[in-house]
Amino acid sequence: MTEMSPPGWHTDPGYTGTGPVQERWWDGSRWTDQLRMPPAAVRRRRIRIGVGVTAGVVVLAAIAGGVLMLTDDSGRTKNTSSDAASPAPSLPGGQDGQGGRGGPGDGGRSPAPDQQQPPSEDGYATDVMSGVSLPVPDGWKGQSATIGASVSTGTYTCPADTSQKCERGGVFAAPAQALKITASTAEAAAKADISVNAKESYGGKAYGAISSHQQLKSEPVTVAGQKGYLVRWKVVTKKGDDGYVQSLVLPSPHSADMLVVVRSGFDISSKAPSLSVMDEITKGIKAASGTGSGSGQTA
């Protein structure tokens, strides 16, 4: 399949296998510069490798087309939504993401969707829809997208399940609606999200599940000029490192009617970043600005 494939969102053919997988818009004849974070990536704290599992979240149709993604045996993603585009076409004019985005000829292209490009700002990863930018600490990897943004330390083999890859530290931002959080206040949303965050970060086979937790913080905070709320837990796992999880919720700096969720998860070990780094990232979150594509440090 080449230029016969209809326009649609597909896994970025230039994906290198590190960091969050983005989707790129195929306009019917070529790969465009339009990028977005896949809806399923809103729960990517732990990365499944080589196992076909259903990603846990479907972004609402009003936000991202109602696309559901599955992970295939190669660790890449495939589209299973009935209203989504057909399987990703082969790269015209190139292979493995090298020189294949232009394609042979520009005639007959369908217009790209009305998607705002992630701003280009050194040292930050931006979630365009949420209107927030996460600071990227030195040595970390950041990823901007139209929906969702993340920063992380990179991966290592999970302690309780060597078929999976885990992150020693990671922070992810997304609209609350994309995470199916219906609470109308930042406090209620943060309190509702923390248990979900803990379960998705440390509650699976990768760490042998959570045996107990201790609440460290539950307090109002001002982040990116907005009055939000923060809840932080220390969790004890049955196998491997314990961890810190934090759910921060704030109104979007660009839309007071939209709540933004910022999930953090840090291992507790000598190789993991210290808790002070979580505090620094939290304090450094700011309102998104600028236009363009990419982030300060992308995976």
Residue 41 has pLDDT above 90, yes or no: no
| 231 contacts 220 by C-beta, under 8 angstroms | no
| 43 contacts 147 by C-beta, under 8 angstroms | no
Which pLDDT tens digit goes with each residue over 104-155? 223 333 344 444 455 558 899 999 999 999 999 999 999 998 889 999 998 8
Residue 51 has pLDDT above 60, yes or no: no
- Predicted local distance difference test score (pLDDT) of residue 212: 93
Cα angle value 260/261/267 (rounded, 5°):
155
The more confident residue out of 291 and 221 is 221
Alpha helices (H) in 223-268, listed in sequence order: none
φ/ψ of 138, rounded to 5, equals -55, 130
State both tokens at 88: 């990703």
- Predicted local distance difference test score (pLDDT) of residue 168: 92
| 19 contacts 131 by C-beta, under 8 angstroms | no
Count of Cβ atoms closer than 10 Å to residue 154 Cβ: 15
What mean pLDDT is predicted for residues 3-27?
74
What mean pLDDT is predicted for residues 161-176?
91
Ranked by mean pLDDT, which of 30-44, 86-100, 114-128, 197-211 comes out on top? 197-211
Q: What is the pTM assigned to this prediction? A: 0.63
Exposure class string for 108-117: b at 16+ Cβ within 10 A, else e:
ebeeeeebeb
Q: How far apart are CA 288 and CA 129, in angstroms?
A: 10
Residue 65 has pLDDT above 70, yes or no: no
State both tokens at 56: 């846990």
- C-alpha to C-alpha distances, 90 to 2, 87, 98, 116, 120, nearest whole angstrom: 5, 9, 12, 25, 29
The more confident residue out of 208 and 175 is 175
